[in-house]
Amino acid sequence: MSVVYVHIGLPKTGTTHLQDRLWRNRDLALQTSGLLYPGNVISDHFHAAVHLQPERYLDWADPAFAGVWPTLVKQMRAWPQTSLISHELFSTATSEHIEKLLDDLSFADEVHVIATVRDLARQLPSVWQENVKNQRRASFDEFVDSVAFAAESNAVGGADPDRVGEPVVEDEPFWEFQDHVGILSRWARFVGPERVHVVTVPRTRTKGDGLWERFLAAMNVDPVPLTIPVPSLNSSLSAAQAEFLRHLNQRLQPDTIEWRRYERIIKGQVIGEILFEAESGPPQGLSVKHRQWAAGLATEMVEAIRDAGYDVTGDLADLRVSADGADDDVPMPTDGQVLDVALDTMAEMILAAPLPKVGPPLKTRAANVVRRVRRRALAVRRSA
């Protein structure tokens, strides 16, 4: 029987790790479990997601890659067992996009949807950090205030619209990618709730019950033969590192730096080569007010998922947020901690910078010669 699974994210739920591991183990998965992870290069799934929504991802929908999705469909159509496509940008698909996707997959006997979901207490700092890595300037509290306002305004998870004030950050798209209740409801209307699978991101790493194992279990795929590992890469900033970068962004906006320079120097060198390699710490945690708000909303969203009757791999308790706080909640960093990060980063950049050319410039050397001649002449006159 031909079955296609569509993994729609959500973003910041370990999707990059899963996709990298799937790609490295694709031959083993095909041989041992009959799971096809199609594509000629790993980025094919990204191009499939953006070309499904060209009006949403206009800057990324490169016509040169317009043939990627038809190629993926052709590969899946030829495979009589289970296929999987995976990218977090599928999470923003509208009803029209979903209809088009399912029409292209009409050859399959069944189409299922998988969503990896993580609790708000971890998602909020993670998404904010990603914003900061991309020139955003809002503080963490300003960001969460705006997310809370948007949740109440749009009744995310059945939220009460009278609980918070005005937004601080304009056009914050958090819920467009993270409202798993609304996103899954949209997909369920087309594939049926019995074919919607929720994989919760575990809070702790337990052997045999990590995200990788849970994700494969949702498709009845045995993880044991898939033995090729992926590098463990640090992609999180400490509270002080993120605050340092946010302050740096105040001086590095699009009107002062072109994106290519920001991407190569800030994202590539400062973040990728210095901050990620430095001794780090946990990200900033929620304030008491924000934690209480997140706890209430998380409870409503968990109940909505439970009531929808989706298949859940993992534990819905993983999506709850404690209103009383957590032992590892990290407060706002002090100015001194942020300054230490700034100085450490500056020191590393100096150590890595290319040495200046040997010797002073030609004009400087000529001036030094003139000064030495004058000094000798003056010395001769004084001794006469």
The helix, strand and coil proportions of the chain, stated in percent and rounded to the nearest 5, come to: 55, 5, 40
The CATH number corresponding to 3-121+174-232+287-322 among 3.40.50, 1.10.287, 2.60.40, 3.90.320 equals 3.40.50
pLDDT above 50: residue 159: no
pLDDT above 60: residue 262: yes
pLDDT above 80: residue 363: no
For 71-80, the pLDDT digits (tens) are 999 999 999 9
The pLDDT value given to residue 109: 98
Domain boundaries, given as residue ranges, for the chain: 3-121+174-232+287-322, 358-383
CA-wise closest residue to 302 among 170, 184, 177: 184
Which CA distances in Å does 229 have to 21, 36, 199? 7, 18, 21
Mean pLDDT of the residues in the chain:
91
The pLDDT value given to residue 204: 83
The pLDDT value given to residue 330: 81
pTM listed for this prediction? 0.88
For 187-213, the pLDDT digits (tens) are 999 999 999 999 999 998 778 789 999
Q: Which residues pair with 313 in a beta bridge?
A: 199
The pLDDT value given to residue 135: 96
For 278-315, the pLDDT digits (tens) are 988 889 999 999 999 999 999 999 999 999 999 999 99
pLDDT above 90: residue 221: yes
Give the H/E segment covering residue 302: helix 288-308
